């Protein structure tokens, strides 16, 4: 009995609940801070934040699985679907489907989980795919559902999920638990505990031919949102992607036992880090608005273009700082004009400068 679902105690996950108590408390406190920070945003900034965070979640969740989505296309599609802005970009089927899933999650987070919701999510996510036997339904193939790496002649099995004939039964049991443990259910569970167990349980069943990781992370977001009674803006997938190697290792270890203390602790830390990342994004957006207001009518078109390009990088900033050569590439300015523009931005308090001559680098001065 190598895998957790093959053991007699499946799916009775065991862990020390007291070890999550502090994380649960911090999460609830942090949620209040996030709500308070968002109250400082005007309507346009609030909409911008929502689109940014929702799109980031799906782009990063897809990146975990090795699929690259164009961030701008996903953002444009999400903005259109939320009614915030017309869609001026063409999205690929994968980008449009990913955006549709995240918007559905954002709008209907409070709805009880059903097979049909999961089927709809799968159909959205697999938009445009022609290589799967079942889209919008649980897998039905007779061969084993395995996660494998390496060449065919020397492959390594990281995990083997329950056979397809068991999936409907396993998912019925999972969905009943998910709804029963919701805040409005008969046996509500704390936010992080429920999200952590839900994600592990769903990934163990692996009910679809493809897309299980992305849908499983969306389910964790749904669990967190239901616990907060608000659409979640927790940057969960973005944070998991930063720790992708550890994520797969923790999932693998948890797939071999139903004693999951290590998984619960790891997931709790990730949720708190994700919440901190969200708060950082909100504060950055507030600082960005104040920054641009302070410089209104003081910039030429080249300077404005360069600053907006730097701001587009978000809280983590422009990789390595802005150089004069970067500035010329962004704006098309000559060398002499770039030097004057950058010196003017420093005097205006828009940029900080470090280094000299060709080693000079510039960073935003948002404080």
CA separation, residue 34 to residues 22, 38, 141, 192 (Å): 18, 6, 44, 17
**Annotated binding residues:** 210-217, 247-248
Nearest residue to 163 via CA among 184, 141, 185, 181: 141
Known binding-site positions for ATP = 210-217, 247-248
Structure tokens at 241: 């992607």
Chain-centre distance for alpha carbon 303 = 32
Q: Taking Cα atoms as reference points, which of 142, 148, 135, 197 lies closest to residue 166? A: 142
The topology (CATH level 3) of 4-285 is: Fic-like fold (1.10.3290)
> DSSP readout, 301-319?
HHHHHHHHHHHTT-TT-ST
Q: Detail the DSSP E strand segments found in the chain.
A: 146-149, 156-160, 351-354, 361-364
Rg (CA), the chain: 23
Q: Are 97 and 124 spatial neighbours (Cβ–Cβ below 8 Å)? A: yes
Q: Provide the pLDDT for residue 261.
A: 98
State the CB neighbour count (10 A cutoff) for residue 91: 23
For the entire predicted model, the pTM comes to: 0.86
Q: What is the per-residue pLDDT for 70?
A: 86
Q: In the prediction, which pLDDT does 231 show?
A: 81
Domain 300-364: give its CATH code: 1.10.10.10
Whole-number Å distance between alpha carbons of 231 and 63: 23
Task: Tell me how long the chain is.
Answer: 367
**Domain chopping of the chain, boundaries:** 4-285, 300-364
pLDDT tens, N- to C-terminus, the chain (367 residues): 689 999 999 999 999 999 999 999 999 999 988 888 777 777 887 787 788 888 888 889 999 988 888 888 888 888 888 888 666 667 888 898 999 999 999 999 999 999 999 999 999 999 989 999 999 999 999 887 887 766 655 667 888 999 999 999 999 999 999 999 999 999 999 999 999 999 999 999 999 999 999 999 999 999 999 999 888 778 899 999 999 999 999 999 999 999 999 999 999 999 999 999 988 888 888 888 889 999 999 999 999 999 999 998 877 667 788 999 999 999 999 999 999 999 999 999 999 999 998 899 999 998 6
Verify whether residue 206 is a known catalytic residue: yes
Q: Give the pLDDT of residue 303.
A: 96
Give CA torsion, residues 288, 289, 294, 297, to 10 deg.
Answer: 110
Question: What Cα–Cα distance (Å) separates residue 303 from each residue in 129, 292, 346, 354?
Answer: 43, 12, 11, 18
Distances (CA, A) of 248 to 24, 66, 253, 304, 327: 23, 13, 9, 42, 40
**Which residue among 158, 206, 252, 259 is the active-site one?**
206
Closest CA to 324 of 366, 355, 367, 288: 355
């Amino acid at each position: 009995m190598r895998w957790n679902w093959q053991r007699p105690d499946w799916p009775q996950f065991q862990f020390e609940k007291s070890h999550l108590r502090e994380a649960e408390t911090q999460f609830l406190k942090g949620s209040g801070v996030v709500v308070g920070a968002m109250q400082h945003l005007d309507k346009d900034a609030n909409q911008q934040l929502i689109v940014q965070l929702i799109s980031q979640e799906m782009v990063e969740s897809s990146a975990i699985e090795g699929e690259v989505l164009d961030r701008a296309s996903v953002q444009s599609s999400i903005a259109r679907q939320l009614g915030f802005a017309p869609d001026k970009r063409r999205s690929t089927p994968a980008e449009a489907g990913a955006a549709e899933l995240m918007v559905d999650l954002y709008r209907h987070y409070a709805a009880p989980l059903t097979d049909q919701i999961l089927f709809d999510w799968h159909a959205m996510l697999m938009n445009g795919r022609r290589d799967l036997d079942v889209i919008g339904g649980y897998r039905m193939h007779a061969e084993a559902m395995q996660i494998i790496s390496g060449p065919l002649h020397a492959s390594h099995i990281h995990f083997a999920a329950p056979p397809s004939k068991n999936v409907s039964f396993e998912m019925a049991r999972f969905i009943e638990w998910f709804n029963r443990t919701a805040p409005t259910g008969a046996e509500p569970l704390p936010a992080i505990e429920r999200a952590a167990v839900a994600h592990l349980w769903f990934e163990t069943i692996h009910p679809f031919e493809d897309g299980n990781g992305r849908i499983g992370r969306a389910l964790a977001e749904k669990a967190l949102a239901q616990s907060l009674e608000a659409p979640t803006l927790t940057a969960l997938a973005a944070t998991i992607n930063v720790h992708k190697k550890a994520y797969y290792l923790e999932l693998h270890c948890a797939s071999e036992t139903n004693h999951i203390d290590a998984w619960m602790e790891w997931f709790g830390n990730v949720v708190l880090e994700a919440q901190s990342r969200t708060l950082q994004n909100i504060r950055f957006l507030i600082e960005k608005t104040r920054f641009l207001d302070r410089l209104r009518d003081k910039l030429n078109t080249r300077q404005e273009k360069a600053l907006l390009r730097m701001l587009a990088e978000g809280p983590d900033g422009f990789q390595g700082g802005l150089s004069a050569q970067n500035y010329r590439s962004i704006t098309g300015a000559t060398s002499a004009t770039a030097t004057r523009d950058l010196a003017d931005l420093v005097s205006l308090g828009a940029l900080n400068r470090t280094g000299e001559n060709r080693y000079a680098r510039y960073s935003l001065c948002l404080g």
